[in-house]
Structure 1
Amino acid sequence: MSAYNFGPNHPMSPLRLDLTAALARELGIFELPQVEVIPAYVASDDELATVHTREYIAAVRRVGEDPTLSDHAHGLGTEDDPAFAGMHEASARLAGGSLLAADAVLGGSVQRAVNFGGGMHHALPEKASGFCIYNDPALAIMRLLDSGVSRVAYIDIDAHHGDGTERVFWEDSRVLTISLHESGMTLFPGTGFANDIGGPNAEGCAVNVALPAGTSDAGWLRAFHAVVPQLVAAFGPDVIVSQHGCDSHRDDHLTHLNTSVDGQREAALSIAALAEKVCEGRWIAVGGGGYNVVSVVPRVWSHLMAIAAGKPVPLRTAVPETWRAHVAEKYGRVAPLLMGEDADTWWRSWEVGYNPSDALDRTVMATRKAVFPLYGLDPWFD
């Protein structure tokens, strides 16, 4: 998977995947008896074409075969998505990982599957965008639908709006897309506001919570719990697909949110519990953004995998010394001592009241007013 590499100066470093896999291995997650690690495969053109245009797939192949080319019409060879040798194969392998996850859940051999190398949620059917070439969450959802699943809920907690996945299913009432992200007023891609609720044939099937810059764990989790559980329960999906970009962390240099590793672990626990409640535990989780590649990404995604395996890692667990030594020796970086940050993740329930003078509450209420009535829910009290 680390062949998905835009170059040494690009924020999306494949180092984050290497260090995540190494940390999960040192923590014993991959060796748990209920865990199976399966290598991803390169998705075929026919599989990719369930979401992407044939013309775009051919363009990715062409640029990957000759990285001196650029194709800005398809978003390739740009500053965000530089061309690199083998671009098609590397991108299609990330997609293949999420398709494998979908197939495992469809086959009934597992309830939960994780592809931490996936989460490329900005990719559009006809164009690369925001470090994303092929939209693996959308491909996994389409695989579920094409295989007879009636309804899928997609929950995106990346700091950036999940615009590509939302676009694919904008007119599809079988898919509920919920994106909890920093407001487009301050962050790429500049979209995803409360009144963006889906196309005429799927009103209420796109849900957006545009968080103010600076939102911390308390506000982030308050917003999540004021919107996500109610709508997912009302929608009644057969499977939940979630995107766990961890760039909302306070130490991520590309965004302006203020969450912690502890808060993101709490969100993953909440999604796992929601899957148990509404769809018999069927849950596919993918990675996404995350640019603090030593201190944040490996811990957050290791927590995610442990939660999916039903063996959450306590926050006060020591980071394995072998992994810390590996980070120091190979990369010259100082790794964290614990799997958590001793953050305060207390959040105020919506039931205690709405504060109109609070910017976070105003954005949550805007989303609830736009969507809740479409599900028979009261935006003030439910």
Structure 2
Amino acid sequence: MMCQAAFVYSTKFLDYHFHSDHPFNQKRILLTKDLLEKAHLLSENNIIEPRRATQEELELVHDKAYINAVSKAGDTGLSEDESMEYGIGTEDTPAFPNMHEASSYLVGGTLAAVDAVLQGKSDHALNLGGGLHHGCKRKASGFCIYNDGAVAIKYIREKYDLRVLYVDTDAHHGDGVQWAFYDDPNVCTLSIHETGRYLFPGTGQVNERGIKEGHGYSFNLPIDAFTEDESFIDVYEAAFRQIVDYFRPDVILTQNGADSHMYDPLTHLCTTMATFDHIPMLAHDLAHQYCNGRWIALGGGGYDMWRTVPRAWAQIWSVMKTGGIQQGMLPPEWQSRWQAESPLTLPGSWHDDQRMVPTIPRKADITEKNKKILESTLKYAINKQIHP
């Protein structure tokens, strides 16, 4: 199936840069864009420019005082008390010059993607600069300054009056987006993530189900460390299908962190590219089945910048553009361009994942354990909630 799709990109995305040793590096987007171009999947007529989100748009989610603090942090700097209050200047989220402007372009990129889809210019749109799901109303968190996904959902609700299903497959819980809509029955959030027993931010338990009118529209599926493809795909497929049929959204917004891959240095999950093939394929199919194709996808986490993220994110665009995933060898021109910079040997193909098997615990035992855990989690978090 050939689909009209928009790819949001600007070199301004690279200005969101904490420091050279920080794990969050937006060069991932450039690597992905170049891979798509070398694979002849992306051309200039697919690319749309982001705009800078306005103060009014940022205030859909964030307090004015916090926005002013972000501006000040990137200009003259914050006092120690202000840094503590607003979460800026920490090891995770250090201040950098012009951070307000750089962060506003990431949000504006997601809003450009929303408008492209909801104004009928594209069926789908991808903003790999977005997906900063930890940003809170008045505090930066987990590498995220402004929460572009939450701002975009508020924007959709106010400008287009549509019901939104937000699906987050980052290894870290999508806490900032969940809390922004925890009492809203017109926004349904689903987060599949590594359990908070081991990983930041420590939230995302199955009993976080929403409050007031929003009760029953928040879904969390925490999975255990060492989860592999079979378990991840099973829970993703079952949950997504049941929830989309239950909620009947007008538009689907997905956050596509690539940090559940076994190569990722910050998490403990053990998926391969098989999972990252399945994630966009199902989103694409369900968007066409329930939402007339309206699907907006964002980036997110992913800290194995050279080997994993470009391949995982490129498959999202391939599905949007062609309806299918890429197979076979990676473009040699892409490999030759980036191998000199990469500290690691780049993969030779789209699915070149050599399993790194830990000695303890044995992965077969963990996989069997996870099957049982996920079965009970699904029964509680999905079936009981949708079919009381």
TM-score norm. by structure 1 comes to 0.91
Query: Separation in 2 of the partners of 1:365 and 1:279?
Result: 30
Q: Answer yes or no: is the 8 Å Cα contact 1:324–1:334 preserved in 2.
A: no
Please tell me whether residue 222 in structure 1 is matched to residue 246 in structure 2: no
Q: Judging changes above 3 Å, is the alpha-carbon distance between structure 1 residues 68 and 195 closer, same or farther for their aligned structure 2 residues?
A: closer
Give the 5 Å matches for 1:234-249: 234-249=246-261
Give the 5 Å matches for 1:108-123: 108-123=120-135
Quote the residue 1:161 is aligned against. 173
Q: Answer yes or no: is the 8 Å Cα contact 1:195–1:367 preserved in 2.
A: no
Quote the residue 1:179 is aligned against. 191
User: Which of 123-132 and 223-232 deviates more?
Assistant: 223-232
Match of 2:57 among 47, 53, 58: 47
Match of 1:125 among 114, 137, 158: 137
Q: What does the per-residue CA deviation read over 1:334-376, in whole Å, with 9 as the maximum and x for residues that have no partner? A: 32110113789xxxxxxxxxxxx83443244234324434433
Q: Answer yes or no: is the 8 Å Cα contact 1:260–1:341 preserved in 2.
A: no
Quote the residue 2:224 is aligned against. 212
Quote the residue 2:332 is aligned against. 321
| CA apart distance, 1:201 | 1.8
| CA apart distance, 1:174 | 0.3
| CA apart distance, 1:119 | 0.3
For the residue of structure 1 that corresponds to 2:316, the secondary structure is helix
Give the 5 Å matches for 1:306-345: 306-316=318-328, 318-331=329-342, 333-341=344-352
Query: Separation in 2 of the partners of 1:358 and 1:226?
Result: 18
Give the 5 Å matches for 1:1-382: 1-31=13-43, 36-67=46-77, 71-316=83-328, 318-331=329-342, 333-341=344-352, 358-376=369-387
| CA apart distance, 1:12 | 0.5
Aligned amino acid, residue 366 of structure 1: T
User: Which of 126-135 and 145-154 deviates more?
Assistant: 145-154
| CA apart distance, 1:231 | 1.0
Q: What does the per-residue CA deviation read over 1:136-177, in whole Å, with 9 as the maximum and x for residues that have no partner? A: 111111111112333110000000000000010001000010
Aligned amino acid, residue 227 of structure 1: A
User: Which of 259-268 and 242-251 deviates more?
Assistant: 259-268
Aligned residue pairs total 362
Q: Answer yes or no: is the 8 Å Cα contact 1:327–1:334 preserved in 2.
A: no
Aligned amino acid, residue 339 of structure 1: W
Query: Separation in 1 of the partners of 2:31 and 2:353?
Result: 22
| CA apart distance, 1:225 | 1.6
Query: Separation in 2 of the partners of 1:342 and 1:332?
Result: 17
For the residue of structure 2 that corresponds to 1:153, the secondary structure is strand
| CA apart distance, 1:268 | 1.1
| CA apart distance, 1:276 | 1.0
Query: Separation in 2 of the partners of 1:213 and 1:262?
Result: 18
| CA apart distance, 1:67 | 4.5
Q: What does the per-residue CA deviation read over 1:163-216, in whole Å, with 9 as the maximum and x for residues that have no partner? A: 000010001000010000000011100000111111122111110000011100
Query: Separation in 2 of the partners of 1:325 and 1:312?
Result: 26
Aligned amino acid, residue 280 of structure 1: N
Query: Separation in 2 of the partners of 1:218 and 1:108?
Result: 36
Q: Judging changes above 3 Å, is the alpha-carbon distance between structure 1 residues 199 and 23 closer, same or farther for their aligned structure 2 residues?
A: same
Q: Judging changes above 3 Å, is the alpha-carbon distance between structure 1 residues 358 and 335 closer, same or farther for their aligned structure 2 residues?
A: closer
Q: Percent identity?
A: 37
Query: Separation in 1 of the partners of 2:192 and 2:63?
Result: 28
Query: Separation in 2 of the partners of 1:292 and 1:39?
Result: 26
Q: Judging changes above 3 Å, is the alpha-carbon distance between structure 1 residues 105 and 214 closer, same or farther for their aligned structure 2 residues?
A: same
User: Which of 244-253 and 103-112 deviates more?
Assistant: 103-112
For the residue of structure 1 that corresponds to 2:74, the secondary structure is helix
Query: Separation in 2 of the partners of 1:273 and 1:191?
Result: 29
| CA apart distance, 1:31 | 2.1
Q: Judging changes above 3 Å, is the alpha-carbon distance between structure 1 residues 364 and 208 closer, same or farther for their aligned structure 2 residues?
A: farther
User: Which of 115-124 and 323-332 deviates more?
Assistant: 323-332
Name stretches of at least 5 consecutive residues in structure 1 with no aligned partner: 345-356, 378-382
| CA apart distance, 1:274 | 1.0
| CA apart distance, 1:104 | 1.1
For the residue of structure 2 that corresponds to 1:2, the secondary structure is helix
Q: Judging changes above 3 Å, is the alpha-carbon distance between structure 1 residues 262 and 363 closer, same or farther for their aligned structure 2 residues?
A: closer
Q: Judging changes above 3 Å, is the alpha-carbon distance between structure 1 residues 293 and 113 closer, same or farther for their aligned structure 2 residues?
A: same
Aligned amino acid, residue 266 of structure 1: H
For the residue of structure 1 that corresponds to 2:214, the secondary structure is coil
Aligned amino acid, residue 189 of structure 2: T
Q: Answer yes or no: is the 8 Å Cα contact 1:197–1:203 preserved in 2.
A: yes
Q: What is the RMSD computed on CA atoms of the aligned residues?
A: 1.8
Q: Judging changes above 3 Å, is the alpha-carbon distance between structure 1 residues 40 and 69 closer, same or farther for their aligned structure 2 residues?
A: farther
Q: Judging changes above 3 Å, is the alpha-carbon distance between structure 1 residues 290 and 156 closer, same or farther for their aligned structure 2 residues?
A: same
Aligned amino acid, residue 358 of structure 1: K
